[in-house]
Amino acid sequence: MTRIFHGGMIWAVLLLALALSACGGSSDQPDASQDQRLRVVATVSPITNIVENIGGTRIRLEGVVPEGVNSHTFEPNPSMAKLLSQADLIVINGLFLEEPTLALAEANKQADTVILNLGDLSVTEDQWQFDFTFPESAGHPNPHLWPDPNLGLRYAELVHGQLTALDPDNAPYFDENLARFRERVIKMDQAFRTAVATVPEGNRKLLTYHDSWAYFAKQYGMEVIGAIQPSNFAQPSANDVAGLIDQLKSLGLPAVFGSEVFSSDVLEAIADEAGAQFIDEMADDDLPGKPGDPEHTYLELMRKNVAVMVPALGGDATAVEGLETGNVFEGDSGAIYPQ
């Protein structure tokens, strides 16, 4: 049907459109150009969440490494250069984990933008851990510090210091968030020690898909005996596989640990051959649930890992039940976690 509008009606429609445009239409979202909060970019999700817990609703935060992606081999899209060029603060793990992203950030950041390298500021070179995936001969240490919640707290303290320096007006807010985060980490650390102590001493050993647990193991009296993923992130050799099977059989370990993110048929076959249980519910940089879910936090990631690990090795994980693992601030920060 053809609609005929008379002159008066046309002017009324135009005036209505102009009015809607002036007030922003029906959108409830604030104008991004008027948002004066610090713009912060972070890399992997656990680090992004640590930053979110300290900055809360007082920063604009965006992660750049998608969850479920291998952070060692992640290549940032060139379009990410614009995001990095607009950041006031760029937070990375360091220790050679995100080299392509770091290179892009250094090439595109503003002169006064701070790149906060957490790993390099959290451990000294004599504290570096080397292993199967990160051999000392290659010169690059294991960069996975955050599975040790004590080092996760160190990350939070470094983030707090930088946010306070950049935005002193919000320092009391950042102080409160850090205090709450520290309290939860202290309780988590105590619970982890209690839970690991229930594992038979001979079972306090980890064979994993990826070497993510070196600092965790050292902190809690465990030993990483191997990982399937070699230093070039390819499939392990036949000799490596045979050696791990023999080692598992001789130790009589009840379980080996894969990843809920990266499947490993090789590790599952090794477990089967050695008569061990294959557990693929652990993760190092993929937070539980989805963005916006209460459990989508760094603290819940770590609690869940121990809740899976300890019983599989013959211990009792009751101590980690009931830990507070949600974000410590109130409200919705609007942080972006790429999927």
Cβ–Cβ < 8 Å for 319, 310: no
Which H or E element spans position 298?
helix 298-312
User: What is the identity of the amino acid at 208?
Assistant: T
To the question of pTM greater than 0.85 for the whole model, the response is yes
pLDDT at 208: 85
- The pLDDT of residue 243 is 84
Instruction: Reply yes or no on whether the pLDDT at 180 is more than 90.
Output: yes
Average pLDDT over the chain reads: 88
9 vs 290, which has greater pLDDT?
290
CATH among 3.10.20.600, 3.30.565.10, 3.40.50.1980, 3.50.50.60 for 35-189: 3.40.50.1980
pLDDT tens-digit profile of 9-38? 434 433 333 343 444 433 334 456 689 999
DSSP assignment of 137-158 equals GGT------TTSHHHHHHHHHH
Using 50, 70 and 90 to split pLDDT, how confident is the model at 183?
very high
CB-count exposure of residue 135 (10 Å: 0-12, 13-18, 19+): middle
pLDDT at 94: 96
Under the banding of pLDDT at 50, 70 and 90, the label for residue 237 is confident
Rounded average pLDDT over 210-222: 93
pLDDT digits (tens, 9 = 90+) for 89-121: 999 999 999 999 999 999 999 999 999 999 999
List, for residues 122-171, the tens digit of each pLDDT value.
Answer: 999 999 999 877 889 889 999 999 999 999 999 999 999 999 999 999 99
Q: Which fold has domain 201-320?
A: Rossmann fold (3.40.50)
Q: Span 67-71, mean pLDDT?
A: 83
Domain ranges of the chain: 35-189, 201-320
Provide, rounded to the nearest whole percent, the portion of the chain with pLDDT above 90: 68
